[in-house]
Amino acid sequence: MARLFKKSGRKPGQAPGSIIHIGEINNVSKIQVINFDKEDLSENEIKKVEECFPFFEKSNVSWIDIVGLHQIDVIEKIGKQLKIHPLVLEDIANTYQHPKVEDYENYFFIVMKMFRFNQIERELKTEHISVLCGSNFVISFFDKESDVFEPIRIRIREGRKTLRESNSDYLMYTLLDAVVDNYFMVLENIGENIEHLEKNILQNPKSSNLTSLHKLQDDILIIQKSILPLRRLIPTIEHSTSSLISKTTRIYLKDVNDHLTQIGDTIDATNIKLSAMNNLYLSVLGQKTNQAMKILSLIATIFIPMTFLAGVYGMNFQFMPELSSPIAYPIVLASMTGIGLSMIAYFKKKKLW
């Protein structure tokens, strides 16, 4: 479950670069290596992280996908082998780390959040992704197993020309693009949920609708919190002077930034929509309350003259000649009924009933 406010997990005075897993413990651990170039492809699932080290020495591109950030020793060994900065290793193990992009000359480090919206439970779930991109390798770190990058694996297996002939920077772009495309899907699912909720509010507003509305607002804020840093920081890669990023990849990164801008605009529009729905809920609820009060007022108005007649003839005065008449009671009842019916007819004519 996604949370807007999370504990940092760090202890005061803790040494910078301390690799401590922060987040939910996931018992699944998996390391998959895909090594490819224009003509050759190898795909292996390895048991020990040391088995992937020889791939770093090859000239072709290696994509190492690691699932299970609770394996601190795996992160430490990769950091030592590739001389990764300790602060980067610390951020990889921290699933609460804010999204960011950092240029370390020899490699790029990217932290992203991926979301899934469960339509059945109507709940937003967050996944933490870190990516290291070097001259001939890309390492992706997941806190839990995910299929978001499966289409990219399929493209590599099918021998797609652009991907198989490009360097690691293009592979890094495809991973970024896959996560950004996922944002569109999540927002689409949330949009469907908003439409369903709006229909319920218009038909029959309930207190549970207001709870669902506030939850959706929190979900959108969580997504916005993850999108804004990327909108600011993707240009860091695009305009970097690093030789790791080719001219062609910079153009593709510009397209990713355009998509993020579009997503940001969609989030802004969704926030406005949710605020309007909050007012709609209060308006519809007030309208229904006013309608109920109106009906009660009309009923009370109809019964006022009847109550008056009943009060008059309910008084115990001795000299009321009409009380002795045998037809007095039917006349009074008929009068009360006639008054009531005539008032109902008047209200309907004025379209008040």
Q: What is the pLDDT of residue 9?
A: 52
Q: Which of 47-61, 122-136, 206-220, 286-300 has the lowest mean pLDDT?
A: 286-300
Give the tens place of pLDDT for each residue, 89-111: 999 988 888 888 888 888 999 99
Nearest to 135 by CA among 29, 243, 294: 243
How far is 174 from 133, CA to CA, in rounded Å?
12
What Cα–Cα distance (Å) separates residue 66 from each residue in 12, 18, 35, 190? 30, 20, 14, 29
Give the tens place of pLDDT for each residue, 209-220: 888 888 888 989
Q: What is the 3-state secondary structure (H, E, C) of 62-82?
A: EEEEEECCCCHHHHHHHHHHH
How far is 98 from 90, CA to CA, in rounded Å?
12
154: tokens are 């399929």
Identify the structural domains of the chain with CATH numbers, from first to last.
30-283 (3.30.460.20), 290-349 (1.20.58.340)
Q: What is the pLDDT of residue 173?
A: 93
Q: Look up the pTM and report it.
A: 0.77
